[in-house]
């Protein structure tokens, strides 16, 4: 069974529209990661910074997925909160080479975790420690410590190292997500 079919099966309905929001600082690799997941990723298009947000709807394994690709630029980050209520899962993408901005990423994650639509929900949060291929990238364990992820005790979370250009690590993360959603049924 394909990964998306598994995710949808986990969500319980065959004609389900699975909704996922993808957030994280600008340049962390959100759009690249989504392009990697999308069908027809072979098409060569240049990734440019997202303005506001973009909605990606596509069918995979005969199921409909809607992914909200949010801009990470500071002036658009306030938009993220409008989608938490709408989705079954949140993906937070980190650039694990950006040691200096790790504290900004932590602040944004704090905002996310204290948002009323997140703090009282058990929406699973999948964090990608992205750009693992670049020299000087922090490991997933280092990122976990820097973001103090272990304090998250009331909802499932997971961190996976990823390379959004090649897709390495992405399937592992999505497998985890499918598992958690299955557990919520
Ligand atoms: N080496 C490497 N480069 C990556 C990876 N993921 C993304 N990039 C590059 O990082 C840059 C930013 O990627 P985007 O996908 O546009 O980042 P974003 O998070 O969508 O950025 P905003 O839309 O501005 O919030 C692009 O040049 C990508 O090619 C990765 O895993 N490894
Ligand atoms: Mg983008």
Number of domains in the chain: 1
Q: How far is the CA of 12 from the centre of ligand 1 (A)?
A: 32
With a cut of 80, say whether residue 64 has pLDDT above it: no
> Residue with the nearest Cα to atom 14 of ligand 1?
29
Assess if residue 123 is contained within a domain.
yes
Beta pairing, strands 125-130 & 89-95: parallel
pLDDT in tens, 81-137: 999 999 999 999 999 999 999 999 999 999 999 999 999 999 999 999 999 999 999
Domain hosting residue 105, numbered range: 3-179
* Interatomic CA distance for residues 38 and 40, integer angstroms: 6
Is residue 85 within 8 A of residue 16, CB to CB? The reply is: no
Sequence ranges of the binding site: 24-31, 50, 72, 130-133
Residue 49 belongs to some domain of the structure: yes
Please give the Cα distance from 67 to 168 (Å, whole number): 20
User: How crowded is residue 165: how many other Cβ atoms within 10 Å of its Cβ?
Assistant: 15
Rounded-to-integer distance, Cα 61 and Cα 4, Å = 6
Beta bridge partners of 27: none
- Any idea what the CATH number is for the domain that residue 23 is in? 3.40.50.300
Q: Note whether residue 185 is domain-resident.
A: no
Active site residues: 73
34 has a pLDDT exceeding 70: yes
* Residue 50 within any structural domain of the chain: yes
Domain assignment present for 46: yes
pLDDT tens column, 155-175: 999 999 999 999 999 999 998
Nearest atom of ligand 1 to the alpha carbon of 162:
31
Identify which ligand lies nearest to the alpha carbon of 30.
1
Between CA 6 and CA 4 the distance in angstroms is: 5
């Amino acid at each position: 069974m394909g990964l998306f079919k598994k995710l949808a099966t986990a969500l319980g309905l065959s004609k389900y529209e699975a909704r996922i929001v993808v957030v994280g600082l600008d340049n962390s690799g959100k759009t690249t990661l989504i392009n990697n997941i999308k069908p027809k990723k072979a098409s060569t298009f240049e990734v440019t910074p997202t303005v506001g947000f973009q909605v990606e709807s596509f069918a995979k394994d005969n199921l409909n997925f809607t992914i909200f690709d949010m801009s990470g630029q500071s002036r658009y980050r306030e938009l993220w909160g409008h989608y938490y209520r709408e989705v079954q899962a949140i993906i937070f993408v980190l650039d694990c080479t950006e040691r200096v901005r790790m504290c900004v990423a932590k602040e944004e994650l704090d905002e996310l975790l204290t948002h009323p639509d997140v703090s009282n929900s058990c929406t699973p949060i999948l964090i990608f420690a992205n750009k693992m291929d670049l020299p000087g990238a922090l490991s997933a364990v280092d990122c976990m410590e820097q973001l103090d992820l272990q304090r998250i005790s009331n909802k499932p979370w997971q961190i996976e190292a990823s390379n959004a250009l090649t897709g390495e690590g992405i399937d592992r993360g999505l497998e985890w997500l499918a598992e958690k959603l299955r557990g919520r049924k």
